Amino acid sequence: MNNAMTIRPTLTEEVLGEFVALLGPDGVITEPSAVDEYKDPYYIPDDDTFTASAVVVPDNTEQVQGILRIATQYGIPVWPHSQGRNYGYGGPSPRVRGSIQISFRKMNRVLEINEELAYAVVEPGVRWFDLYDAIEAGGYALQVSVPDLGWGSVIGNSLDNGMTYMPYGADFQILNGLEVVLADGTLLRTGMGAIPENKAWHLYKRGLGPALDPLFTQSNLGIVVRAGVWLKRKPEGYSSLFLTLKTDKDLEAGIDAIRELRLEGILEGVPSMYTTLSAAPQLMDTDIQGPALLSEEQIQAIADETGVGRWGTRAALWGPRKIVEYKLERIKEVWGAIPRAKVNHSPIYSPEQYKDFTNSAEQIQAGIPTLQLIEATPPNMGHIGFSPIVPMVGTEVRYVVDQMRKRIEEAGLNFLGGVMSFNERSCCIVGGIPFDVTNKEEAERAFGAVRRLVKEIGELGYGEYRAHIDYMDEAQAIYSFNDNAYRRFVEKIKNAVDPNGIIMPGRHGIWPSSHYAQPEDQGGARTPSPN
């Protein structure tokens, strides 16, 4: 963890003048308290390590191109964010102190909704709420796969592999066909979009030659200013499921059952198995527990009292009514073979009944965005994420969960989160470590616990699927095969397309050579230059 810095970074009048000429006075934010509104609200109190020098707010793609040309001219790094809601991973804060933040909150237009082919085209400031509202206002028989919180950006969330729960949420399939601004201001379209006026741009995930869309996921090679979003038709039948496991020792059997149901094609989307403390707020209108460490007996008591069990799986079924009925019977057969396990399910709903939903689990899996999860969070409670990828095998998941829980509890904090089935064969153990954002000692303890997890769980062979800005270098260092060949390859690309290191230097541990204090590897972690 970096020591707090007290000198606020600033820009010269010359640089500010160029940005004001491009964006107007309302498009450039420099007043310290206003800039601080774009900081990560879940970071350590009074620590200014990741403070920006200014925030610029473009209204269109041409202005984004102009911002990058100015930034390149003066050698100032930029850190774009869509809505800045990536809480638990650094929010909107820049990895390099003194960067200019680019906020896309004004670029919030839904550019197209195509009902026949079931897709939309959006700008980066479009929230899940915005896209949902546009679909409903237009009377389209379509739905979008949404995450737990609807206030984030469709593009921003998706580009950081943020999970959603309906079928296109599996393996992050939602986005297709990107428009990207490169470091020199050049505009690039990926896939079939490379053909002018091509009608399949947002319909086909390849093109001619290497597929480029994945290069801009969790990367710092360009800034996405437009993307296609795959939608689904509202199904004839929809049923929300909650599958419970009575005791903690049933975890292995539950994981194996979900894997087999997924491989059979019975369960789709992203079935998600939650700990008691994470499941109770979603299903029982119970407040999320704070950081104070609870005993095994206390957790079991909450599990029994609420009925959510020690592990509760949120899932859903979509499709023709008869298919939903068949799948439900198969799930009861498989899940019922686990002792004391229960299958709870809603009726089979038709689309006209969605408007009556009040439970957030039913809403989210029907493509209706909510804020219930944040509304159930106690005041001043923040969290930091640690989320390794693990094979979808019960014994493997048990081993990693136990290793994570042991270290988190040794820090005096509760293990929250769950096991998200990203696909049929692998899962992500999403650990949300809670702390009081007003308590510096507790915050530092939480960040210290995660740094320990990154290192020690990494040494066991498990790496994160995304990382907080505070430990991106350490998380990337775990991917160390053949002297960190992956990182060295991506950094060659970075140096070629962004030789001045302007766009998000250091994001997920990828640095341009111009930012290194020294070129040699230091055990996998890299030391950026203070310049």
Q: Are 371 and 127 in contact (CB under 8 A)?
A: no
Task: Say what percent of the chain tops pLDDT 70.
Answer: 93
- Residues 475-495 have a mean pLDDT of 97
Question: Any idea which architecture 110-233 has in CATH?
Answer: 2-Layer Sandwich (3.30)
Q: What is the 3-state secondary structure (H, E, C) of 502-513?
A: CECCCHHHCCCH
C-alpha 469/C-alpha 450 separation (Å) is 12
State the pLDDT at residue 518.
Answer: 40
Q: What is the pLDDT of residues 486-503, one digit of tens each?
A: 999 999 999 999 999 999
Q: Are 123 and 108 in contact (CB under 8 A)?
A: yes
Q: What is the pLDDT of residues 75-121, one digit of tens each?
A: 999 999 998 888 888 889 999 999 999 999 999 999 999 999 999 99
Q: Are 229 and 142 in contact (CB under 8 A)?
A: no
State the pLDDT at residue 145.
Answer: 97
- DSSP calls for 475-501: HHHT--HHHHHHHHHHHHHHHHH-TT-
Q: What is the 3-state secondary structure (H, E, C) of 170-210?
A: CCCCCEEEEEEECCCCCEEECHHHHCCCCCCCCCCCCCCCC
Does residue 519 have a pLDDT over 60?
A: no
The DSSP secondary-structure symbol of 289 reads P
Catalytic residue chosen out of the listed positions 462, 465, 487, 526: 465
Q: What is the pLDDT of residues 279-291, one digit of tens each?
A: 776 655 555 555 5
State the pLDDT at residue 133.
Answer: 98
Alpha-carbon distances, residue 52 vs 10, 46, 166, 219, 308 (angstroms):
8, 14, 36, 20, 43
Of 412, 228, 239, 215, which Cα lies nearest the Cα of 325?
A: 239
- 148-152, 272-276, 284-288: lowest mean pLDDT where? 284-288
Does residue 298 have a pLDDT over 90?
A: no
State the pLDDT at residue 531.
Answer: 41
- DSSP calls for 261-289: HHHTTSS-S--EEEEHHHHHHHHH--PPP
Of 382, 401, 387, which Cα lies nearest the Cα of 444?
A: 382
Q: What is the pLDDT of residues 35-71, one digit of tens each?
A: 999 998 889 988 889 999 999 999 999 999 999 999 9
State the pLDDT at residue 469.
Answer: 93
Regarding beta strands 78-81 and 100-103, do their DSSP bridges make them parallel or antiparallel, or are they unpaired? parallel
Q: Which residue has the tokens 């800034």?
A: 223
- Domain chopping of the chain, boundaries: 13-103, 110-233, 237-470
**What does pLDDT average to over the chain?**
91
The domain 237-470 is classified under which CATH number: 3.40.50.620, 3.10.129.10, 3.40.980.10, 3.40.462.10? 3.40.462.10
- Residues 323-339 have a mean pLDDT of 97
Does residue 525 have a pLDDT over 50?
A: no
Whether 89 is catalytic: yes
Rg of the chain taking only CA atoms, in angstroms: 23
Where does residue 313 fall: left (phi above 0), alpha (psi -120 to 50 degrees), or beta otherwise?
beta
State the pLDDT at residue 7.
Answer: 63
- DSSP calls for 365-381: TTT----HHHHTSPTTE
Of 58, 184, 177, 171, which Cα lies nearest the Cα of 111?
A: 177
Whether 465 is catalytic: yes
Does residue 481 have a pLDDT over 90?
A: yes
Q: 3-state class of 462 per DSSP?
A: coil
Q: Are 464 and 450 in contact (CB under 8 A)?
A: no
Name the pLDDT band for 380 (thresholds 50, 70, 90): confident
Name the pLDDT band for 529 (thresholds 50, 70, 90): very low
C-alpha 40/C-alpha 306 separation (Å) is 33
**Percent of the chain as helix, strand, coil, to the nearest 5:** 35, 20, 45
Does residue 337 have a pLDDT over 90?
A: yes
Whether 69 is catalytic: no
State the pLDDT at residue 69.
Answer: 96
Name the pLDDT band for 523 (thresholds 50, 70, 90): very low
Catalytic residue chosen out of the listed positions 89, 165, 349, 462: 89
Cross-strand pairs, 391: 426
Q: What is the pLDDT of residues 155-192, one digit of tens each?
A: 999 999 999 999 999 999 999 999 999 999 999 999 99
Cross-strand pairs, 418: 274, 430
Query: Please, which residues have CB within 8 angstroms of residue 37's CB and are 6 or more apart in sequence?
Result: none
Q: What is the pLDDT of residues 424-460, one digit of tens each?
A: 999 999 988 888 999 999 999 999 999 999 999 999 9
Does residue 3 have a pLDDT over 50?
A: no
Range 13-103 classified under CATH 3.30.43.10 = yes
Q: What is the pLDDT of residues 190-225, one digit of tens each?
A: 999 999 999 999 999 999 999 999 999 999 999 999
For residue 167, give both structure tokens.
């079928």
Catalytic residue chosen out of the listed positions 407, 466, 487, 507: 466
Q: 3-state class of 450 per DSSP?
A: helix
For residue 449, give both structure tokens.
């616990």
Task: Say what percent of the chain tops pLDDT 90.
Answer: 78
Of 424, 257, 392, 276, which Cα lies nearest the Cα of 338?
A: 257
Q: 3-state class of 11 per DSSP?
A: coil
Regarding beta strands 175-181 and 223-230, do their DSSP bridges make them parallel or antiparallel, or are they unpaired? antiparallel
